[in-house]
């Protein structure tokens, strides 16, 4: 079909060329106008300015505080997901909340209600796709992290929990610098909000 279509187009072009040549021969004269087309000037494309990334508005000192707070939170996340996978209360669980959280008793109580007594297990934790800061102060950092639940597996008493959309969810947490180092102070705006696969 491609070859056939090519020949049909070629034959049409040759037919137009033959008609033009015949008309020129019958006229017997020279053309009075210049048949060459008028050259057009094309403008070169303008290079688009790169979109600033989220960290462009922060100073190196601020970004250093963010990195320190983020590293501490990632330690907390590793501790929490490991405890949530087992769902067992041990002295090390309480010690972990005391190390990373400014409200250890409250978080430990929630852990008991959800995992130990409630039967939930975070068998496969959601993946942290990216983090970014929204506010960086001298002793506090508010940053965002995107959790991808696509491959997560969370059960309650052995039954798999259905994970509703969005599968990628934005979470905001505030970290505070204390005498014990950076600690998780609270979650900010706990509503369900979707997030993109990459940081803005």
Distance CA 157, CA 123 (A): 12
Which residue stretches of the chain have pLDDT < 70?
1-50
Spatial CA neighbour of 144 closest among 88, 89, 102, 195: 195
Gyration radius of the chain's alpha carbons: 33
pLDDT digits (tens, 9 = 90+) for 6-56: 333 333 333 333 333 333 334 444 444 445 555 555 555 555 666 779 999
């Amino acid at each position: 079909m491609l070859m056939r279509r090519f020949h049909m187009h070629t034959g049409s072009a040759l037919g137009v060329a033959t008609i033009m040549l015949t008309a020129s021969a019958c006229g017997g004269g020279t053309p009075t106008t210049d048949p060459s087309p008028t050259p057009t000037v094309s403008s070169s494309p303008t290079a688009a300015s790169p979109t600033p990334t989220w960290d462009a508005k922060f100073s190196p000192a601020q970004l250093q505080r963010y990195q320190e707070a983020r590293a501490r939170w990632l330690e907390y996340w590793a501790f929490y997901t490991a405890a949530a996978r087992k769902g067992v209360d041990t002295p090390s669980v309480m010690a972990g909340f005391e190390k990373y959280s400014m409200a250890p008793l409250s978080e430990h109580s929630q852990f008991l209600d959800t995992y130990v007594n409630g039967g939930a297990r975070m068998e496969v934790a959601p993946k942290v796709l990216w983090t970014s800061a929204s506010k960086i102060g001298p002793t506090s950092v508010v940053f965002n992290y995107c959790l991808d639940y696509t491959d997560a597996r969370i059960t309650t008493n052995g039954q798999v929990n259905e994970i509703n959309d969005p599968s990628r969810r934005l979470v905001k947490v505030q970290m505070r610098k204390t005498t014990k180092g950076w600690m998780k102070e609270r979650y900010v705006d706990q509503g369900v909000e979707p997030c993109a696969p990459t940081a803005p």
